[in-house]
């Protein structure tokens, strides 16, 4: 038993050493992955392009408490990260293989756990991403396959976010997409991308329409980054004869220094023939979040996040029932605060509290009573190599 403990300790010690060596020799540091999960060109963060395979692993465990009764499937409302109430659970365990060269690149990530069960595709539940691409000309790349979303500030993996939980706006944004991306790395500062996908948030096509989009990322400095993405699609069902055209816009601003990590996201969407009071009218939604982390020491940090989600005509939310079993759109505000400790650079231990409030509708349940407020306590740990 002592031998195995020594081996495990030695393994994580070597991971720390490798991380330090990477910083010394100028390689990009993957021990701080904040905001990296929704990059429009994630290959920018790879160590090199020498044509070598890289195998990576990640495991994330949690314990959560909610003041809201679980649904029939055992998950909370808006279930993604830490979806089970008063239980120890495994958000995800995943294994990735990545290949990056001057002419060809590929990423394959398989995962399991509560997160894919609660919020991932039913058709390909174990595939987080599987895509490949080749260089068309100089800095122009074509990639095809299954992708994690490039939209938003937060990703499906807590290690890539400031907080443990996901904001409400993140829950209703696309998590996964299938299609093709045409990416032009104009310079180290500017990246442009054209997209075509099967759907707004599906691997498998739901109708005969495709979703198209444009993305742009601009690095104003080594610390400051701006990203804009949009998507135009029609998500109406095959049996619905009314065309519902959706135009979704996402803006993200990030800042990272030795002490501070800050992020701001704003979203605006509209959809034709979708107003609940008058189906002939165009409906609109907006949402926003702001998150910040202050690193007190290299190992200890504190963080906060505020969020607003306004979708009164349920463009993104789908049917949500209030205490009177009437269909309503969501109007939610939330506040999250917590602490993070990093025992080794490629890990995290987080404890956080969160409060969600639905302005006018009682959509939560506590002790058989309808409530418009939910409180949460999340404790999570993650490590990657």
Using DSSP, state whether 100 is helix, strand or coil.
strand
Alpha-carbon distances, residue 250 vs 28, 78, 190, 245, 295 (angstroms): 27, 20, 17, 17, 28
- Residues 330-352 have pLDDT tens digits of 889 999 999 999 999 999 999 99
The per-residue pLDDT for 118 is 92
What pTM did the predictor assign? 0.87
% of the chain with per-residue pLDDT over 70: 88
The per-residue pLDDT for 1 is 46
The per-residue pLDDT for 68 is 86
Count of residues in the chain: 385
Q: What is the mean pLDDT of the chain?
A: 87
The per-residue pLDDT for 30 is 58
Question: What's the pLDDT band for 172 if we cut at 50, 70, 90?
Answer: very high
- Residues 187-224 have pLDDT tens digits of 989 999 999 999 898 888 878 889 999 999 999 999 99
Select from 337, 374, 42 the least CA-distant residue to 185: 42
The per-residue pLDDT for 360 is 74
Residue 217 and residue 196: Cα distance in Å, rounded?
Answer: 18
Higher pLDDT among residues 281 and 16, named by residue: 281
Please check the confidence at residue 3 and state whether its pLDDT lies above 60.
no
Select from 371, 350, 362 the least CA-distant residue to 64: 350
What are the DSSP E strand ranges found in the chain?
52-66, 87-100, 104-112, 127-137, 140-148, 176-185, 190-197, 211-219, 224-234, 245-256, 260-271, 283-295, 300-311, 320-321, 327-328, 330-341, 347-358, 364-366, 369-371, 373-384
Contacts of 324 (CB under 8 A, 6+ apart): none
Residue 23 and residue 51 in contact, taking contact as beta carbons nearer than 8 Å: no
Please check the confidence at residue 240 and state whether its pLDDT lies above 70.
no
The per-residue pLDDT for 12 is 38
Please check the confidence at residue 23 and state whether its pLDDT lies above 50.
no
- Residues 107-150 have pLDDT tens digits of 999 999 999 999 999 999 999 999 999 999 989 999 999 999 99
Q: Which two tokens stand for residue 246?
A: 């959706």
The per-residue pLDDT for 22 is 44
Question: What's the pLDDT band for 42 if we cut at 50, 70, 90?
Answer: confident
Give me the helices (H) in the chain, please: 2-24, 114-119, 168-172
Please check the confidence at residue 49 and state whether its pLDDT lies above 90.
no
Residue keyed to tokens 């969501």: 330
Please check the confidence at residue 260 and state whether its pLDDT lies above 90.
yes
The per-residue pLDDT for 317 is 85
Please check the confidence at residue 18 and state whether its pLDDT lies above 50.
no
Q: Which residues on adjacent β-strands are paired with residue 354?
A: 336, 376
The per-residue pLDDT for 363 is 82
């Amino acid at each position: 038993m002592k031998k195995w403990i020594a081996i495990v300790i030695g393994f994580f010690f070597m991971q720390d050493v490798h991380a330090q060596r990477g910083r010394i020799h100028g390689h990009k540091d993957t021990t701080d992955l904040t905001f990296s999960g929704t990059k429009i060109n994630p290959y920018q963060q790879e160590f090199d392009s020498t044509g070598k395979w890289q195998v990576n692993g990640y495991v994330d465990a949690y314990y959560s408490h909610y003041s809201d009764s679980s649904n029939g499937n055992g998950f909370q409302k808006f279930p993604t990260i830490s979806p089970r109430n008063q239980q120890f659970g495994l958000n995800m365990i995943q294994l990735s293989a990545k290949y990056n060269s001057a002419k060809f690149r590929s990423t394959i990530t398989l995962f399991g756990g509560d997160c894919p069960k609660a919020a991932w595709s039913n058709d390909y539940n174990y595939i987080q991403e599987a895509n490949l691409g080749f260089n068309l000309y100089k800095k122009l790349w074509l990639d095809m396959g299954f992708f994690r979303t490039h939209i938003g500030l937060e990703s499906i993996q807590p290690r890539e976010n400031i907080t443990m939980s996901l904001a409400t706006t993140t829950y209703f944004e696309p998590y996964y997409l299938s299609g093709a991306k045409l990416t032009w790395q104009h310079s180290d500062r500017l990246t442009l991308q054209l997209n075509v996908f099967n759907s707004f948030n599906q691997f498998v096509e739901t109708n005969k329409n495709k979703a198209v989009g444009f993305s742009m990322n601009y690095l104003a400095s080594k610390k400051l980054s701006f990203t804009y993405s949009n998507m135009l699609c029609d998500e109406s069902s095959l049996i619905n004869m009314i065309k519902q055209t959706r135009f979704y816009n996402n803006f993200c601003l990030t800042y990272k220094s030795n002490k501070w990590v800050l992020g701001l996201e704003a979203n605006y969407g509209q959809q034709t023939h979708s107003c609940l009071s008058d189906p002939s009218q165009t409906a609109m939604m907006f949402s926003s979040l702001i998150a910040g982390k202050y690193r007190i020491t290299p190992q200890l940090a504190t963080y906060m996040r505020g969020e607003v989600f306004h979708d009164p005509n349920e463009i993104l939310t789908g049917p949500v029932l209030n205490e009177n079993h009437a269909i309503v759109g969501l109007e939610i505000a939330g506040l999250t605060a917590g602490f993070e400790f990093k025992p080794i650079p490629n890990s995290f231990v987080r404890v956080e509290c969160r409060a969600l409030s639905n302005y006018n509708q009682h959509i939560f349940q506590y002790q058989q009573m309808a409530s418009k407020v939910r409180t949460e306590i999340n404790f999570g740990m993650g490590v990657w190599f």
